[in-house]
Amino acid sequence: MAATDPSADGAAAGLPADTAERLLSISAALSRERDLDRLLDVILRAARELTGAEAGRLYTLDEPKRNLVLRVAQNTRLTRAREAETSVPLFPGGRRNTAHIAGHCAFSGQRVVLSDLYRAPGFDLNPFARYDQLNGYRTASLLALPLHDHEGLTIGVLMVINAADGAGRRVAFDEGRQRVIAAFAAQAAVAINTTRLIAENARLIEMLNASNRALRRENQLLRSRIRERASFDEIIGGGARMRRVFDLMGKIVRTQATVLVTGETGTGKELIARALHYNGPRAHAAFVTQNCAALPESLLESELFGYRKGAFTGATTDKKGLFEAADGGTLFLDEIGDMPLGLQAKLLRVLQEGEVRPLGATTGRRVDVRLIAATHCDLADAIRTGTFREDLYYRLCVFPIALPPLRERRDDLPELVEHFLADCCKRHGKTVAGIAPETLELLAAYDFPGNIRELRNLIERGVLMAEDHSSLLPEDLPAAVHEAGERTFLRPDSGPEGAALRDRMAAFEARTVQRALDAAGWNQTRAAEMLQISRRGLIEKMQRHGLRRPEPAGEGDA
């Protein structure tokens, strides 16, 4: 299959005398066009003008690089041509499609020149025959050239058809036309590639801008949600112990003082720290957190203070530490009691001098950071055993806030349960009608070693276990809660003194039924639904335990 037709003559008949000037003018026009579709149309018109061609086609390679897609087709002899193909498959049946003229041109990277199309051997001419038949046209001469990008890879095929001289007579694509169109094709390929790159860059920039806008909106939303969650009102608890905590927070929230929050694991120390930050004068700045027990000493040091390039093996760039990241804002150091002694000395220096020195740096940097620390440890005991510095303790304990464990604030339990129940139902898309009184009784008997965190996990598990539109039942709670409840029911104060198990359980049942009736306003149907029993069953229990609706107070009653 010859790439060049040997019958093409060497005359340059029909070409304009100012071809070089036209090439320069066309190249300038191509460089200004930024719309790819318009550019392809201009390229094909210019190619036809330079070669005197009646018709032409321009194919580009699709993204999967499996097809040459017909992007532009022109024919001055036809007002509206009907195309026989819209694309050329490059690998039909898993083989290279070199039988198609455009496919051969793309794979070989060479021009194809034919002075008499239908006498050319080796090509599949059916697409051209169908085109001619559909449009009453005759394709005679043809010149196809590959379009290469800056890396020499084929990105398309330019095809001009039926060259004509100045008088309109059909002639061959001679050497002069071939040289001109070859020079033009190189410029056209550059223009196509440049336009594609510009369009791709514009698309990527817009995607980046859209992503940045989305991130800014998400950041604003998250910050607003954090502020909402960190408000005092979002800290559940109306009992005496929590009211004391709120009083202390109110005294310190508008100040810059260092705060030490103590309490068992799961009592909500970070929530207190967030509330102090987002309700204080630094709410506009960063709130940065770090768990001192989560990292070994070397990593924790670089995380807190940062490092400079070359400070140690693997330090290929500078890294800003958390003190610098929190500059102007608040740094919350959780589990400060687990910080190694060596780092305690460096932390004390930062607190005393307000200056942080990254690893590998020769000079320090001033930072303005409010520190809130938290621990579940007894720091006074840690000082006695030598695991915590006394001077650091006094630096941290400017304003201590002690959070009570959940077992010491059982009066807050119903409100906490209600809050977590609503939140978990919303997150998991479930509908739980409420919590059965006996379930709440079991929770009230449990000591919650994991405190608020454990309560939330128990409620979430219960929501997942519970049937939709039912109450949270005792069987939705884990065995540990039931065991604690059984121990409580067997205590002397849970029933008549010295009573048998049967009597103690009867006393518990009476209290449970009484509470359900009170909660339902003594509406027996509603109370039965809350207890997950029939109305008849409720009436029997009321009769068994002698439960009667209290009489309304008379006019003379106080």
* Consecutive H or E run containing 459: helix 451-465
386: left (phi over 0), alpha (psi -120 to 50) or beta: left
Alpha carbon distance 510, 545 (integer Å):
6
CB 401 within 8 A of CB 374: no
How would you classify the pairing of strands 319-320 and 142-148?
unpaired
CB 152 within 8 A of CB 112: no
Residue indicated by tokens 């579940």: 376
Token code pair at residue 480: 């540990």
* Mean pLDDT value across residues 279-303: 91
Q: How far is CA 162 from CA 50, 75, 168, 282, 491, in A?
A: 13, 10, 10, 77, 106
CB 512 within 8 A of CB 437: yes
Phi and psi dihedrals of 285, rounded to 5? Answer: -100, -175
Question: What is the pLDDT, as a whole number, of residue 19?
Answer: 66
**pLDDT-above-70 percentage for the chain:** 88
Phi and psi dihedrals of 16, rounded to 5? Answer: -65, 150
DSSP output for 187-222: HHHHHHHHHHHHHHHHHHHHHHHHHHHHHHHHHHHH
Given a cut of 80, is residue 229 above it in pLDDT?
A: no
* Mean pLDDT value across residues 288-313: 90
pLDDT, tens digit (0-9, with 9 covering 90-100), for 43-73: 999 999 888 999 999 999 998 889 999 999 9
Alpha carbon distance 412, 404 (integer Å):
11
Which of the residue ranges 76-85, 232-241, 249-258, 361-370 would you say has the lowest mean pLDDT?
A: 232-241
pLDDT, tens digit (0-9, with 9 covering 90-100), for 157-186: 999 999 988 777 888 898 888 988 998 888
Token code pair at residue 238: 């109306």
Q: Which candidate, 307, 309, 288, places its Cα nearest to that of 299?
A: 307
Alpha carbon distance 450, 285 (integer Å):
32
DSSP output for 468-481: TTEEE-GGGS-HHH
Given a cut of 80, is residue 387 above it in pLDDT?
A: yes
459 CB burial (10 A radius; 0-12, 13-18, 19+): buried
What Rg do the C-alpha atoms of the chain give, in angstroms?
A: 42
Given a cut of 80, is residue 261 above it in pLDDT?
A: yes
Given a cut of 70, is residue 190 above it in pLDDT?
A: yes
Q: What is the mean pLDDT of the chain?
A: 84
Question: What is the pLDDT, as a whole number, of residue 496?
Answer: 46
Q: Which domains does the chain have, with CATH numbers?
A: 19-199 (3.30.450.40), 230-404 (3.40.50.300), 408-545 (1.10.8.60)
CB 283 within 8 A of CB 227: yes
348: left (phi over 0), alpha (psi -120 to 50) or beta: alpha
pLDDT, tens digit (0-9, with 9 covering 90-100), for 409-450: 888 888 899 889 989 999 999 888 888 888 888 888 888 999
Question: Who's near 523: CB < 8 A, 6+ residues apart?
Answer: none
- 3-state secondary structure string across 213-249: HHHHHHHHHHHHHHHHHCCHHHCCCCCHHHHHHHHHH
Alpha carbon distance 96, 92 (integer Å):
7
Inter-axis angle of helices 451-465 and 413-428, to 10 degrees? 50
Q: How many CB atoms lie within 10 A of CB 217?
A: 10
List the Cα angle 67/73/74 in 5-degree steps: 165
Question: What is the pLDDT, as a whole number, of residue 321?
Answer: 92
Alpha carbon distance 354, 525 (integer Å):
66
What pTM value is reported for the model? 0.51
Alpha carbon distance 328, 164 (integer Å):
77
pLDDT, tens digit (0-9, with 9 covering 90-100), for 100-155: 999 999 999 999 999 999 988 889 999 999 999 999 999 999 999 999 987 888 89
- 3-state secondary structure string across 256-299: CCCEEEECCCCCCHHHHHHHHHHCCCCCCCCEEEEECCCCCHHH
Q: Which candidate, 78, 90, 190, places its Cα nearest to that of 139?
A: 78
CB 88 within 8 A of CB 102: yes
Half-sphere CA count of 212, side-chain side, radius 13 A: 6
**pLDDT-above-90 percentage for the chain:** 43
List the Cα angle 9/158/174 in 5-degree steps: 10
Question: Who's near 468: CB < 8 A, 6+ residues apart?
Answer: 430, 431, 432
